[in-house]
Amino acid sequence: MKFFKFIFSLFGKKEKKPDYVFPHSVVTDYPIKLHELNRPNFKASEFWYSNTAEENDIDNTPKEQYILFNLMKTADMIQHFHYFVQTKFPDKKVKIIITSGYRNDATNKLVGGSPTSAHLTGLAIDIKITINNISIEAEKIAILYHESQMTFDQLLIEKTICHIGYKDNDRENRKEISIATRNRMNKWKLKPYKI
């Protein structure tokens, strides 16, 4: 009997292993390298690239290990969200565009970011989504993220993008959803949003 089980294990139907496993293990004894941020639907550089930084000759590449550690989490979360959205629209082409990820201090100041922004530590990402090359509203992105039941600290619905922020410790996530607008002083004003 053992012989037949062995033969079947060699030629029988094998379980396909997934190409990507969530969550990515970030507990390592070796330094995290930038290329490790690559995900099936995202290039590593998308998590820190900034037009503003490039236009102003600022190197916005993350260097500190704690930031790379946080970016690994952010990368895993957004990849998982991509899978969720693709599952909701199986016959359509889903693209998540990262408009802002990690920002160093200089870049954050230039874009008018909050001095306490989670972008500074790699724990925030601003995104747009297109489905069959048609942009969907930021409000719809927030609703989809909420439906995914994934954890978050803040979902901020801005004009054309959705900001997703996380805490280091998932138990500290506040799960706040707000509409974010700028006031006359160019400061962010948050209005709670109910889904």
Structure confidence by residue, pLDDT tens digits, 143-174 = 999 999 999 999 999 999 999 999 988 889 99
CB 26 within 8 Å of CB 69: yes
Lowest mean per-residue pLDDT among 27-36, 77-86, 102-111: 27-36
What's the rounded mean pLDDT across residues 21-37? 69
Give the pLDDT band (50/70/90) at residue 43: very high
Burial 10-43 (b: 16+ CB within 10 A, else e): eeeeeeeeeeeeeebeeeeeeebeeebbebebbe
CA angle 161, 163, 165 (to 5 degrees): 170
Six-digit token pair at 62?
A: 């993350």
Closest CA to 18 of 83, 93, 91: 83
DSSP 114-166: -TT-GGGGT-EEEEEEEETTEE--HHHHHHHHHHTT---SEEEE-SS-EEEE-
Q: Domains in the chain, please, with CATH?
A: 19-192 (3.30.1380.10)
Q: What is the model's pTM?
A: 0.83
For residue 135, list its beta bridge partners.
130
Q: Which residues contact 117 (CB under 8 A, 6 or more apart)?
A: 103, 108, 124
- Amino acid sitting at position 35: H
More confident: 2 or 113:
113
pLDDT for residue 16: 43
Check whether 119 has a pLDDT greater than 50: yes
> How far lies 184's CA from each of 144, 156, 160, 181, 190, in Å?
31, 19, 19, 10, 14
